[in-house]
Structure 1
Amino acid sequence: MQVIGLCRFSYPAIGGYQVEHETVEERRQYLYNPERLEERFRLFETTTLPGFREQTDEDFELVVLVGECLPQKSMDRLYDLTSGIRQVRIVKRTPARHRPVVKEVLHSARTDPDQPCIQFRHDDDDAVSVDFVERLRLAAIDAKGLTRNSRTVGLDFNSGFLARFGPDGTQALPVFRSLLGVGLGMYIAGGCKHTIMSFTHHKIGRFMPVISYPDAPMWVRTLNNFNDSPHARASKTELSPLTPEQEGEFIARFAIEQDRVRRAHSAG
């Protein structure tokens, strides 16, 4: 079964963000602010990509959606960072309405629309565990009873970490969050036109059955200066430095190495 992920990397869509702007140019100026882009790249390199590079099931595709207007220096950097990960494919689009664009990109990624697939969404500053794709496939098998009557089924891994990354390493807090977006997948039947982006992630349970898995930590949601969610930016959540055991867990579960995090976030 085909597994497709969609990651928007500072794509200047019209709509689709909680932080609103009146014009595409205002959205572009916000997203392409050098300070914001630098933070995004550091998190993408040290937090997001390691887990996808080390997936135990290598049969998946991560589509990274960018604007054609992304500054060339940033575009080159993005290609350099992802060049060694064959599952990553960068797709360029002009700024447009969010929902039609992401729908078109995901439909285009399906090799056989008449066959079922699994889709997931991913933010460019978050991480998933190295067995995320493998677990999605197993979850789709669990969902077989539901798929007889439902063309879509949510697959929600609700255990993970909230975390901040910086020059001193990682501060984190283990949490349970349902339908957070990160760690959330969706089974889609053959011939079905819905995508993982057809539904607001925290409302997906209103439209389909959802299977939840609370067993192992499956994701890291980053709290940083430019989170799209105002709640995340203003979060007063008390995080603690990783213990030695948690440092080992971050390597084993997410391929996130603290020395690399410290170096990246200390640079320039």
Structure 2
Amino acid sequence: MQIIGLCRFSYPALGGFQVEHDAIEERSAFLYSEKRMEERFRHFETIMLPSIAAQTETDFKFVIVIGDNLPERYQERLFDLCAPISHIQSQAHAPADHRETMQKAINTARVKSDAPCLQFRHDDDDAIAVTFVEEFKRAAMDCRPLLERNKFVAFDFPRGYVVRPDAKGLHVEETYHPFWGVALGCSVAPHIRKSIMTFAHGRMGRFMPSISFDQPVMYLRGHNDYNDSRQGPNVTQPKLKLLDNEGEQMIRNTFAVDAEHIRRVFA
């Protein structure tokens, strides 16, 4: 089974955002502002990228979708960071409908339409445990009869941490949040062009059989000033605590996220 992960990196889509803009030009200006891009790159470099690079199962593709209007200096910076990681593939797309573009990106990376495909979505400020792809694949193999009877099957690992990196290190709160969109995968049957991006992640359980694993801890969910999902006035604020040395070592072992690296980048 081919395994594909998808990440949009400041892609100026039509739809797909809770922060709305009247025109693509306004959305692009917001997404590509220098202050925002600096924050996104810091999280991308210290939180997301290390966990993708250190996966114990390396036989997968991780597709990063960017806008074809992303300024060249940011494209070069992104490509330089990703170059050492062989399973990362970047795709540039013109601004268009969010779900259609993300589905196109996944199907472009899908090389065997006659075989089941395991897919997961991922944000550019989140991390997954270094064992996520391996555990996702094992779970799907264990459930092979279920996959054969259904077009889609969801696999959710809802236990993780909300995290905020800064010059002091990493502030965290443990959380349990089903169908949150991180450490959430989906099997797609052969010859099906629809993808995990067809479904709103919080509603996937309404449209397919879903399997949830209470253990292990499987994600770091980034909490920062530009989270699209946290811009509303009624969003619950987590109670974050700065990790001590023991906690930093646990995060390093589980996610390949290094607090010393965070302190250097955020200093």
Runs of 4+ in 1 over 3 A off after TM superposition: 231-235
* Secondary structure of the corresponding residue to residue 124 of structure 1: coil
Give per-residue Cα distances to partners, 1:58-104, cap 9 Å, x unaligned: 10110000011101110000000001000111100111111111111
1:51/1:128 contact within 8 Å kept: yes
Gaps of 5+ in 2: none
1:223/1:232 contact within 8 Å kept: no
Taking structure 2 as the reference length, what is the TM-score of the superposition?
0.97
* Secondary structure of the corresponding residue to residue 220 of structure 1: strand
Gaps of 5+ in 1: none
Match of 2:260 in 1: 259
Match of 1:132 in 2: 132
Aligned amino acid, residue 104 of structure 1:
K
CA distance in 1, matches of 2:45, 2:232: 21
2:148/2:189 contact within 8 Å kept: no
Determine whether 1:209 maps to 2:209: yes
Match of 2:23 in 1: 23
1:30 deviation in Å?
A: 0.8
Match of 1:82 in 2: 82
CA distance in 1, matches of 2:52, 2:230: 27
Taking structure 1 as the reference length, what is the TM-score of the superposition?
0.96
Q: What's the C-alpha RMSD, in Å, of the aligned pairs?
A: 1.2
CA distance in 2, matches of 1:136, 1:77: 30
Q: Where do residues 84-233 of structure 1 align in structure 2 (5 Å cutoff)? A: 84-230=84-230
CA distance in 1, matches of 2:54, 2:96: 33
2:119/2:185 contact within 8 Å kept: yes
Match of 2:53 in 1: 53
1:160 deviation in Å?
A: 0.4
1:231 deviation in Å?
A: 5.7
Match of 2:247 in 1: 246
Aligned amino acid, residue 257 of structure 1:
D
Larger mean Cα displacement after TM superposition, 216-225 or 232-241: 232-241
CA distance in 2, matches of 1:74, 1:235: 32
CA distance in 2, matches of 1:232, 1:144: 41
CA distance in 2, matches of 1:163, 1:114: 39
Give per-residue Cα distances to partners, 1:234-255, cap 9 Å, x unaligned: 5421111113222111111110
* Secondary structure of the corresponding residue to residue 228 of structure 2: coil
Aligned amino acid, residue 252 of structure 1:
N
Give per-residue Cα distances to partners, 1:140-176, cap 9 Å, x unaligned: 0232232232111001001100011101111001111
1:214 deviation in Å?
A: 1.4
CA distance in 2, matches of 1:232, 1:15: 17
Match of 2:11 in 1: 11
1:224/1:232 contact within 8 Å kept: no
2:159/2:215 contact within 8 Å kept: yes
Give the percent of matched residue pairs that are identical in Structure 1 and Structure 2.
41
Determine whether 1:237 maps to 2:238: yes
CA distance in 2, matches of 1:235, 1:31: 24
